[in-house]
Structure 1
Amino acid sequence: MTHHVLLSGIVGSTAYGLDRPGSDIDRLGIFAVPTEQLHGLRRPTESHVTTGPDRTLHEAAKWARLALGGNPTVMELVWLPPQLYEARTPLGDELIGIRGSLLSAKRVRDAYLGYATQQFRRLETRGDGSFSADTRKRTAKHARHLKRLCHQGLELYTTGRLTIQVDDPQAYHDFGEQVVADSEAARPLLASYEAAFDENRSPLPEQPDEAAVESWLRRVRAHFYSGGEPT
């Protein structure tokens, strides 16, 4: 596997401040294949996922497509606090510098509320709380993610900025336990955020600036045309 990592960092519960002893450490990154590999009969693999350690790497073009679609999971990589980055190159820093170009009001709203709604649908199927310890653990996790996605999505929608670490981690854990006891406890929270999205105007444009992202990707391709290393 030949690839060059442009940007990589610690994401997930550790980045949010929601980790507990024994929590997994998740890593996410962007890599570039040598440009000459894009000209052959078969396209290079666009994602590499490993466990132990848990790490996901997306090729630059795939990461950009996901981010332009508003994908919350990939988006957080360019908003991490500096201490959580484990690999940064000039091309990675350039991407951080144009992160606002990835955003649009509709895609942020649809993506974050969409992901939060997916979490809620999972909670709806969990019954009355009288399930196994493992299921209870997963239920609490889904509930925390629902609350986080709502909060972060609304912040990004209304300010154009994304704060990765939550303000009050214990409140998220408490909410998770409430939902374990009664899955319906998540419904009013989701409804309140849906209303908040409707009531607030976003400073974000109607469409992301794909030209800026395309320009960055072409610089990546030019840099790795002969298999060069990041400078």
Structure 2
Amino acid sequence: MNVLLSGIVGSTAYGLAREGSDIDRLGVFAAPTESLHGLHAPKESHVTTRPDRTLHEAAKWCRLALGGNPTVTELVWLPDELYDVRTPLGDELIGIRGSLLSAKRVRDAYLGYATQQFKRLYDRGDGSFSADTRKRTAKHARHLMRLCHQGFEVYATGRLNVRVDDPDAYHRFGDEVAADAMRALPMLKRFESLFDETRSPLPDQPDEAPAEAWLRRVRASFYGRPRAGA
């Protein structure tokens, strides 16, 4: 497979991993260009476990990133030491990362995902559930907190620091919310207000031209190449 860029994401990248945490990898690959012209399009995503790895085809990755998808976005903002595959085309993708961002889509995506996490917490009730469920609830609470903080950082500055500032605060918040799901609501409301009160330096819509030009370079690069394993 033609992997262009791949790195360690998730709790390890955020600095929230603890003993036993999974190591998640995310990457971008290029389908052979000729395979895009047949009756059946190639798979756009490949997901494996052991190791936990998700790879998106270049065009799909670009569409998700232009839509503000938080998980996809973090791939091009990782610290250098977390990349396990970097190619010249992967470095070009990192180089255009700022053009993929837009104020409305960042706000909608990050706050939208954070709201989904709160709904999951709320649906679990008052905390009177099993230890395993409490563990999952704490994890959702940490995701909510991270999405709020990182989403607002991107919205307010146009940049993303993947590693969180105070991991212990995230774990404390997770434990508090595991005991009482409604303790997450003030944070969500506070960040909704911060988004409303802050003028973003990002444009209203992303600039698709750099992504389009990059994708065309990818297609040209992989035209006529033999399929992997052929």
In the superposition, the TM-score normalised over structure 1's length comes to: 0.97
In structure 1, which of residues 130, 133, 138 is the aligned counterpart of residue 131 of structure 2? 133
Q: Pick from 62, 65, 68 the counterpart of residue 63 of structure 2.
A: 65
Structure 1: give runs of 5+ residues left out of the alignment.
none
Matched, 1:33 2:31: yes
Secondary structure, counterpart of 1:214 in structure 2: helix
Question: 1:228: how far off?
Answer: 7.1
Which of 151, 154, 172 is the matching residue for 2:152? 154
What pairs with 1:194-213 in structure 2 (closer than 5 Å)? 194-213=192-211
Q: Secondary structure, in 3 states, of the residue corresponding to 1:176?
A: helix
CA–CA separation in structure 1 for the residues paired with 2:108 and 2:20: 33
Distance 2:152 2:207 in 1: 20
Of 124, 127, 131, the residue aligned with 2:122 is 124
1:129 corresponds to which letter in structure 2?
G
Write the distance in 2 (CA, Å) between the matches of 1:165 and 1:7. Answer: 19
Amino acid of the residue matched to residue 42 of structure 1? Answer: H
Aligned residue pair count: 227
Runs of 4+ in structure 1 over 2 Å off: none
Alpha-carbon distance, 1:127 to partner: 1.3
1:94 correspondence with 2:88: no
Aligned residue for 1:78?
Answer: 76
2:106 to 105, 108, 112: 108
1:95 partner amino acid = L
Q: Which position in structure 2 is the counterpart of 1:8?
A: 6
Between the aligned partners of 2:225 and 2:87, the Cα distance in structure 1 is 15
Deviation at 1:212, TM superposition (A): 1.0
| Aligned residue identity for 2:205 | Q
Identity percentage over the alignment? 77
Which runs of 5 or more structure 2 residues have no equivalent in the other structure? none
State the 1:224 CA deviation: 0.4
Deviation of 1:95 (Å)? 0.5
SS at match of 1:30: strand
CA distance in 2, matches of 1:188, 1:128: 16
